[in-house]
Amino acid sequence: MPNHLVNETSPYLLQHADNPVDWHPWNAATLQLARELDKPILLSIGYSACHWCHVMAHESFEDAAVAAVMNEHFVNIKVDREERPDLDQIYQNAHQLLARRGGGWPLTMFLAPDGTPFYSGTYFPKQARYGLPGFPELLQHVARVFRENRKELAAQNEQLLAALADWQPERSAEHIELDAAPVGMAAQQLVGRFDPVHGGFGGAPKFLHPAELDLLLRRREQQSTHAAVFTLQQMALGGLYDQLGGGFCRYSVDASWDIPHFEKMLYDNGLLLGLYSDAWLASGDPLFARVVEQTAGWVLREVQAPDGGYYSSLDADSEHEEGKFYVWQRDEIRKLLSAEEYALIKPYFGLDSTPNFEDHAWHLRVAQPLSTVAQNLHLNEEQASSLLASARAKLFAAREKRIRPGRDEKILGSWNGLMIAGMAKAARIFHRKDWLHSAQQAMDFAHGTLWQNGKLLATHKDGKTHLNAYLDDHAFLLNAALELLQTEYRVEDMRFAVQLADALLERFEDQANGGFYFTSHDHESLIQRNKTGGDNATPSGAGIATQALQRLSALTGVTRYAEAAERCLELFFPSMRQAPSQFCSLCTALEELLQPPAVLVLCGAENETAAWQAAVLEKYRPGLLTIVLKGDEAALPSPLDKPHAAQTTAWLCRGTQCLPPITGLDELLAELV
């Protein structure tokens, strides 16, 4: 018989609907049940693309004997961290306090009936190994501790709740004078941790750090630019990147980007589309253009829904094996290719060295530059590129016949915001109407489906849209609307941007102390209400909200958006001074507050304004907001409402200073130096 998850929309929860475990979703009825039964809660948080979540499920949650112990002693709750990032944030924080180390997924928490955690871990094996206790024995031990040590646990719970409360930023009693010091210090710290051999920061495992790389790229200083560009090059050449199909995996298990955990997440790829587009502008490296084209192609091919929204992720596993879809045997490749193609591919992908994956298999990464391989084979550049392209096409076609990893088809507002922004920026920089159309379709879906009765909802699947949206949903979609407006101005995108900004201020801002809560003022009451500014795998909602509100203020002339952004920076500024590299998206916002973005409005014949915009983009000026108008737009905000001229004209404003209209491209480019 299915358990209580059978009516959920989350693919992750539905994966567990037939477990013998009596799983419940997180809701008021389940929490009331725990209180009535006076049973501890076993809370398991994961997501559908998570490899170790699948391992623990197969080992323990599908085992009738283990399930019997869980059902006897606990009220069991399963949570999709992508649908409920509020719960995931709280209990990851609690795990760090309880276990004195970072968390991850699956997150396994044992809670008192009131929701306060008293013991935690991540993955637990069925039998004791890896220095971890066996899960059935752990269950018995935790149940016994809960029965016999209630007084001690109650005291510990009080201390834990107090510690969680202490993590929240507090408004300084003194006046905060904002300055640029944290921005330079953040860049200095990142350059100090930069791996000069493989790129990235620190050792294994290696994560993507998009907010950090964005900050370094914007600095336009030699060390910072090198750290960002070299890291992006090494990531794109490694196994972290899908060399055949495009798109990046979530992180690398080694320091040299060879072997990833194979799940592909929408949020990573949305962020990296924008980052690689900017890196191409900054460096001109053709590798970056190829990565953008292949990754955008993957998005259109594999993760965009027919109704426009973007799906969440692809699993790491297929046929219960991590990476099986992606890895190769050498003989398999040799049989698929011509002798000339294989002669090139063998050294290019490192097939002439030892296997780099389990079972004597290879996961493809670029082992030698194509120019070196071509020289050794006495080929010219055109011949080598042609052989590489044909070999890639054959390998990709063969791989497409394999059993595919599962796809999580829920559509999240926050992650769609990240992908819309990345796709819109890539479309603008590479002049791709198909990418722009993709981004506009996704934004139209968000506006038409996730925005209901003046309120944003967080997730959609199978015709059901539900859950209160979070700060990240509002901030990331607002930022996406601004990227779309700079690529092609649509009145509906400006209207939605204003709606999102107004809702963000009304429902999330702490007007007394500054900053934005992660959950709205009408959200369910939980054991902690977070107001976070640090970046993780995604930039912080506070950082992106602050950037976007400042930019929207510059485009609309509405000062209260910029004032809310400044209050947020004042709240986090002491923390930013203490650990600046943890707050890179807020550092970017701080830099833009101290030196407000210039606004460039272009109006004229479409072919001429497109040429002017392309010329401006080539100069790569982070922080420049460019709006191209046709002259027939309605309801323009005052900073954009310019008189229609017979010839192409540019209006350039920096802060409160606006130049006279500019009618010559060379004159405009000179002003942008």
Given a cut of 90, whether residue 172 has pLDDT beyond it is no
Instruction: From 356, 334, 322, 218, select the one nearest 278 (Cα to Cα).
Output: 218
Cβ-contact 250, 244 below 8 angstroms: no
Residue 252 is inside which H or E element, if any?
strand 251-252
Q: In whole numbers, what is the pLDDT of the chain averaged over residues? A: 96
Rounded-to-integer distance, Cα 253 and Cα 458, Å: 31
Q: Determine the pLDDT at residue 520.
A: 98
Residue 88 is inside which H or E element, if any?
helix 85-99
Cβ neighbour number for residue 488 with a 10 Å cutoff: 18
Region 376-387: what's the mean pLDDT?
97
Given a cut of 90, whether residue 521 has pLDDT beyond it is yes
Q: Determine the pLDDT at residue 621.
A: 85
Given a cut of 90, whether residue 442 has pLDDT beyond it is yes
Task: Point out which residues pair with 110 in neighbouring strands.
Answer: 42, 119
Task: Point out which residues pair with 107 in neighbouring strands.
Answer: 45
Given a cut of 90, whether residue 532 has pLDDT beyond it is yes
**Burial status of residue 513 (CB atoms within 10 A of its CB: 0-12, 13-18, 19 or more):** middle
- Taking only the tens place, the pLDDT of each residue in 151-168 is 999 999 999 999 999 988
Tokens of 453: 């009765």
Cβ-contact 97, 164 below 8 angstroms: yes
320 or 625: whose pLDDT is higher? 625
Residue 240 DSSP one-character state: T
DSSP 440-478: HHHHHHIIIIIEETTEEEEEEETTEEEEE--HHHHHHHH
Region 343-355: what's the mean pLDDT?
97
Q: Determine the pLDDT at residue 21.
A: 98
Region 458-472: what's the mean pLDDT?
97
Residue 180 confidence class, pLDDT cut points 50, 70, 90: very high
Cβ-contact 273, 263 below 8 angstroms: no
Rounded-to-integer distance, Cα 484 and Cα 420, Å: 8
**308-328 as b/e: b if 16+ CB within 10 A:** bbbbbbbbbbbeeebbbbbbb
Rounded-to-integer distance, Cα 109 and Cα 26, Å: 13
For residues 290, 294, 296 and 299, what is the CA-based torsion angle, rounded to 10 degrees? -160
Rounded-to-integer distance, Cα 303 and Cα 310, Å: 6
- Taking only the tens place, the pLDDT of each residue in 278-297 is 999 999 999 999 999 999 99
Is this prediction's pTM over 0.95? yes
Residue 402 CB-half CA count within 13 A: 18
For tokens 């080694």, the residue is 254
- Taking only the tens place, the pLDDT of each residue in 383-438 is 999 999 999 999 999 999 999 999 999 999 999 999 999 999 999 999 999 999 99
Instruction: From 87, 126, 83, select the one nearest 103 (Cα to Cα).
Output: 87
Q: Determine the pLDDT at residue 554.
A: 97
Rounded-to-integer distance, Cα 564 and Cα 344, Å: 57
Region 472-478: what's the mean pLDDT?
98
Task: Point out which residues pair with 466 in neighbouring strands.
Answer: 459
Q: Determine the pLDDT at residue 556.
A: 97
Q: Determine the pLDDT at residue 571.
A: 97
- Taking only the tens place, the pLDDT of each residue in 26-71 is 999 999 999 999 999 999 999 999 989 999 999 999 999 999 999 9
Region 612-632: what's the mean pLDDT?
92
Q: Determine the pLDDT at residue 291.
A: 98
- Taking only the tens place, the pLDDT of each residue in 632-648 is 898 999 999 998 878 99
Rounded-to-integer distance, Cα 544 and Cα 536, Å: 13
- Taking only the tens place, the pLDDT of each residue in 61-82 is 999 999 999 999 999 999 999 9
Q: Determine the pLDDT at residue 597.
A: 87
Residue 580 DSSP one-character state: G
Given a cut of 90, whether residue 224 has pLDDT beyond it is yes
Given a cut of 90, whether residue 631 has pLDDT beyond it is no
Residue 599 is inside which H or E element, if any?
strand 598-603
Region 639-667: what's the mean pLDDT?
92
